[in-house]
Amino acid sequence: MASQILSILQLNIPNLKSVYLQVDMNFDNRSAAPFAITHKLCRDILKIFEDANGCLIAPDDDLSSIHLIINEQMMCEKDFQEFLNVQRIFVKFTTKCDSLAIDKCLRYTFFYWMEERGWCKMNFSAFEPHCVSSGEVFMKFSAELVKAYPFEEWLLDHIDRFRDDREVSKRISARWVTCLPNLGKGRIVKMYRQIPESSPFQNYTQMKSYWKNTYGYILPANPPDTYYDVVFQDKTMLYPFFCVLPTPPQPIPYKKDTDRLANALQEFLKDFRQITRRTLDAQISGKS
């Protein structure tokens, strides 16, 4: 594994506020997909401020509120206030900003910044930012070569595979899998040739839009050959096969400390330095 710890930002904490926003989940049937809604709203807010000084943001675990770190003056901007009104989002309360809030919101915002450079998140445990009380932000960056491959139909037992092209859906023996992007574990229980009528997605275009707005993933242009129903506790979600893994990504230890890892890390850091100019009231510390 190749690693570096860098001082990446200097934030003026006294000029920042922690704002807690409440999303009206009864509006426009939002309660049917609270996770997707809060994540999309976070992305929309980041988009509003990306041409200004930016902001830091993260959806809360209750799936109905959003934690925003922002310069107090920017809260009054007309475009932002109009957005809150149209989207039925209300300010619950505002508090002083602290380093713990910055750590939380930077984890989420970080990957939004990097998506335009082609980087996507796969679990949040891969990096840990740390903001000290003075406002200086440190982050450890690591590169590791791993083995990961999608769960294709041929990995199923013979009895669970489609018999011919006429078979469009099939219930299969439950099998544990790992799903992108958070590497959560669930069980596949059914597979389809096409998106079923029972799915919340009417077509593959809607599915691609969901993954882009919720996770920042750009799925392949063409529809997959296979979709899976994956059960997580009491919920079932439909996945394209290439977002389902038979096992979590596995490190390849005999490839460690290669030039490939070092080059990948430097490429990532180059993109990161170019994109961090969008953070609010921030200056690149220049320590690298």
Q: How far apart are CA 190 and CA 194, in angstroms?
A: 12
Residue closest to 183 by CA, chosen among 227, 142, 244, 241: 244
Q: Indicate the angle between helix axes 99-115 and 259-275, nearest 10 degrees.
A: 110
Q: Which has more pLDDT, 281 or 227?
A: 227
User: Cis before residue 181, ω within 30 degrees of 0?
Assistant: yes
Taking 3-state DSSP, the helix, strand and coil percentages for the chain, each rounded to the nearest 5, stand at 35, 30, 35
By three-state DSSP, how is residue 196 classified?
coil
- Section 96-115 average pLDDT: 87
Q: Which has more pLDDT, 278 or 272?
A: 272
Query: Where residue 128 falls among pLDDT bands split at 50, 70, 90?
Result: confident
Q: What are the beta bridge partners of residue 69?
A: 18, 56
Percent of the chain with pLDDT over 70: 91
pTM of the shown model: 0.81
Contact 141, 269 (CB under 8 A): yes
Tokens linked to 282: 């921030």
Burial class (CB in 10 A: 0-12, 13-18, 19+), 213: middle
Q: Please list, in sequence order, all residues whose beta carbon lies within 8 angstroms of the beta carbon of residue 73, skipping any fewer than 6 positions away.
A: none
Does residue 287 surpass a pLDDT of 80? no
User: What is the identity of the amino acid at 95?
Assistant: T
Cα-based angle 172, 176, 179 (whole degrees, multiple of 5)? 105
Does residue 22 surpass a pLDDT of 80? yes
- Which pLDDT value is given to residue 44? 93
Q: How far apart are CA 205 and CA 178, in angstroms?
A: 24
Query: Where residue 236 falls among pLDDT bands split at 50, 70, 90?
Result: very high
Query: Where residue 231 falls among pLDDT bands split at 50, 70, 90?
Result: very high
- Section 120-128 average pLDDT: 70
- Which pLDDT value is given to residue 288? 36
Q: How far apart are CA 238 and CA 191, in angstroms?
A: 9
Q: Indicate the angle between helix axes 78-86 and 34-49, nearest 10 degrees.
A: 160
- Which pLDDT value is given to residue 284? 35
Does residue 269 surpass a pLDDT of 90? no
Per-residue b or e along 254-267, where b marks 16 or more CB atoms closer than 10 Å to that residue's CB = eeeeeeebeeebee
Does residue 286 surpass a pLDDT of 50? no
For the chain, the first-to-last Cα distance in angstroms comes to: 19
Percent of the chain with pLDDT over 90: 45
User: What is the identity of the amino acid at 41?
Assistant: L
- Which pLDDT value is given to residue 283? 41
Contact 87, 41 (CB under 8 A): yes
Q: Find where tokens 């809030």 sit.
A: 101
133-189 per-position pLDDT tens digit: 888 888 888 888 888 999 998 888 887 888 777 778 899 999 999 999 989 999 999
- Which pLDDT value is given to residue 234? 81
Residue by residue, DSSP assigns 206-265 as: HHHHHHHHHH-----SSPPS-EEEEEETTEEEEEEGGGEESS--EE-GGGTT-HHHHHHH
Average pLDDT, the chain: 86
